[in-house]
Amino acid sequence: MSEVRVTPWQDGDLPAPPPELLAGMRGRRPHGELIGIDRVLLKSFPLATGWNGLLGRVRADFGLKLEYRELIMLRVAALNRADFEWGVHHPAYLQAGGTDEKCEALKQPTVDSGLLNEEERALIALTDQSTRRVEVDAAVVEELKRLFGETQTVEAVATVAAYNMVSRFLVALAV
């Protein structure tokens, strides 16, 4: 993408964010380094606070396997052409157990289902339907419930929704 469409917050800018907000944001990042989206979010402290809490829980607290959450995040990034999001989640997906072959498949308009297990196929169906058309077929939700139970189905849907929010924010502001 081109240059970021708003001036990202920089260390020393006033007003300064609350110290606990900065600490929380740094705590979610490798080596405590703020990344591009963090600096744009810090243009609004209330937004940054809520965002950090929600996305921190999606990334760290859900019972749905991290590899599956990262798979969802990458598929959303690919569908929405959110390159920054892809760059952040690609290494995380590989570290969580994903493969480069699956990453390449996730970039395609239709994912080669032969590469995916039953759970991954169900998660891709959810992600594609929710991202592309918002409405999700009842059969897709029933399959998720069969495979994951209701709690992890809710978490899968929330992961898709949350990362659609992320990608739309990133793309709109050219982060």
pLDDT over 70 (residue 61): yes
Angle at 33 between CA 48 and CA 94, to 5 degrees: 95
Q: What is the CATH number of domain 66-172?
A: 1.20.1290.10
Inter-residue contact 76 to 160 (CB < 8 Å): yes
130-158 pLDDT tens trace: 999 999 999 999 999 999 999 999 999 99
- Can you read off the two tokens belonging to residue 125? 């169906």
Angle between helices 19-27 and 45-60 (to 10 degrees): 30
SS3 110: coil
5-20 pLDDT tens trace: 999 999 999 999 999 9
Report how far residue 119's alpha carbon sits from residue 166's, in angstroms, rounded to the nearest whole number.
Answer: 24
65-85 pLDDT tens trace: 999 999 999 999 999 999 999
**Sequence ranges of the domains in the chain:** 19-60, 66-172
Counting every residue written for the chain, the total comes to 175
- Can you read off the two tokens belonging to residue 155? 């978490």
- Can you read off the two tokens belonging to residue 80? 């929405």
